[in-house]
Homo-oligomer: A and B are copies of this chain.
């Protein structure tokens, strides 16, 4: 059952069944990915409707042409790219971006898969609601891709991953059937959870065409603080204290290392440095509280209790929206500073939260055994999710360390795995981590995954080579 290229004849036949504007040039936007590891190939089709998506998928399945579902193209692990093999159809959802309905009294919005994440935020805000999924690429990422990759981001602590924000899906399955699953229900125990199976399957089990998503009441008042913590362990204790006082009101809890401030000073000197004397570890705490609570006072109470408990040594509470923005900018610009410095190796990992302090110590040891590097470790501490990036020491560049790159990655991932963590916390497997999944994945889970893939996509047309390695195919 070898896959075949999308031939001129195949495309000509499809052109008879779809509007002309569905066919688009395969411009670089469709063939590049943010990290520049792969160059893609394919014929770009952007259908107007779910029926047209089904038409394309059916045609591809019949002709055994690969389908690469395409959202905003912002994925970081290559799941949106087909670098080689038979020429695929790149199935872009960009023309399907309607808000099909919004029900503020239900806290529900139904959007098509091509809607830009930021536009979903705006639609929610227009009815005084919050759609909390927020990632750096929100201005170009599309909701279908966010769901296909189970995107995370800064609000997972309070509101969960993309998975947790989805009530229902409409999707085209590999055989071309449309699953009409756009339920606006909070409880529905009628059969297997196909929704969560598609979410996070990175386009390998079907094409998400629309979603019913949860909205939330906007918190009555919001506040942000930066606090210098004595250690990562103290940061965890501070989080527990914050939750004992404010419960779900803690919206984000991000840890940063002084190394990040140094990188910011070096590469983005216009960013205002929050501390005169850069600390080793500090956290950003964001809260959204109920009516009757003043976020500033609540953060003051937290700080003074934490000071008394010896968890924090310094801190500042934003006194205005502008200052909140300033604090967040420090966090949000660290990835850009990292890019400018140029990492040898970067890692999107998660750990059981109580293991994080130990991981930070052992991670340094592991890296030091390979050579002299600088480490910038920061991330969503409240979710146990660290972005752990390894950089050359001053005077060297990443090009000097190409030989050590794989060793660093392997050693750190081995450590993460040994400590019960995940080597892909929020970015997914894509093409980049297929080998990691084979190395670290549970064998029973992997065999169940392969059986499910084979059951739903027996010809293997959906995003071949992503998540699971292409199986040897017999013609």
In the bound complex, residues from chain B placing their C-beta under 8 Å from that of A433 are 190
Of all chain B residues, the one with the shortest Cβ separation from A233 is: B105
**On chain A, which size bracket covers the interface?**
35 or more
- Is A13 engaged at the interface, CB distance under 8 Å to the other chain? no
In the bound complex, residues from chain B placing their C-beta under 8 Å from that of A243 are 107, 217
B173, B293, B353: the one contacting A293 at CB < 8 Å is B293
B193-A425 in contact (CB<8A): no
In the bound complex, residues from chain B placing their C-beta under 8 Å from that of A179 are 442, 444-445, 448
A187-B380 in contact (CB<8A): yes
Which one, A65-73, A196-204, A326-334, is touching chain B? A196-204
Which one, A3-11, A363-371, A400-408, A416-424, is touching chain B? A416-424
Interchain CA distance A437-B433 in the complex, whole Å: 38
B189, B244, B420, B455: the one contacting A183 at CB < 8 Å is B420
A187-B425 in contact (CB<8A): yes
Which one, A136-144, A156-164, A266-274, is touching chain B? A156-164
Q: How far is the CB of A291 from chain B (nearest CB, A)?
A: 4
Of all chain B residues, the one with the shortest Cβ separation from A187 is: B425
B157, B178, B245, B453: the one contacting A291 at CB < 8 Å is B245
Task: Decide yes or no: A177 and B443 within 8 Å by CB, A192-B197, A201-B192 being known contacts.
Answer: yes
Interchain CA distance A106-B381 in the complex, whole Å: 11
Interchain CA distance A197-B183 in the complex, whole Å: 18
Of all chain B residues, the one with the shortest Cβ separation from A152 is: B187
B246-A290 in contact (CB<8A): yes
B186-A383 in contact (CB<8A): yes
- Is A247 engaged at the interface, CB distance under 8 Å to the other chain? yes
A185-B217 in contact (CB<8A): no
Of all chain B residues, the one with the shortest Cβ separation from A185 is: B350
- Is A461 engaged at the interface, CB distance under 8 Å to the other chain? no
In the bound complex, residues from chain B placing their C-beta under 8 Å from that of A436 are 190
- Is A431 engaged at the interface, CB distance under 8 Å to the other chain? no
In the bound complex, residues from chain B placing their C-beta under 8 Å from that of A428 are 189
Interchain CA distance A297-B293 in the complex, whole Å: 12
Task: Decide yes or no: A449 and B384 within 8 Å by CB, A179-B442, A247-B248, A350-B186 being known contacts.
Answer: no
- Is A103 engaged at the interface, CB distance under 8 Å to the other chain? yes
A105-B445 in contact (CB<8A): no
Of all chain B residues, the one with the shortest Cβ separation from A248 is: B248
In the bound complex, residues from chain B placing their C-beta under 8 Å from that of A445 are 179, 181, 191, 194
Interchain CA distance A236-B297 in the complex, whole Å: 32
- Is A40 engaged at the interface, CB distance under 8 Å to the other chain? no
- Is A454 engaged at the interface, CB distance under 8 Å to the other chain? yes
Q: How far is the CB of A454 from chain B (nearest CB, A)?
A: 7
B456-A187 in contact (CB<8A): no
Of all chain B residues, the one with the shortest Cβ separation from A352 is: B184
Task: Decide yes or no: A185 and B352 within 8 Å by CB, A190-B440, A290-B298 being known contacts.
Answer: yes
Given contacts A150-B193, A179-B445, A193-B197, 9 further A-B contacts (CB under 8 A): A179-B444, A183-B352, A190-B436, A191-B441, A192-B201, A192-B448, A196-B197, A217-B247, A220-B244
> Could you jot down 8 A-B contacts, CB within 8 Å?
A149-B189, A156-B187, A173-B444, A183-B352, A191-B437, A191-B446, A197-B197, A291-B301
* Interface residue ranges, A against B (CB under 8 Å): 103-108, 149-150, 152, 156-157, 160-161, 163-164, 173, 175, 177-181, 183-194, 196-197, 199-201, 205, 216-220, 236-237, 240, 243-249, 288-293, 297-298, 301, 350-354, 380, 382-385, 420-429, 433, 436-437, 440-449, 451-456, 467
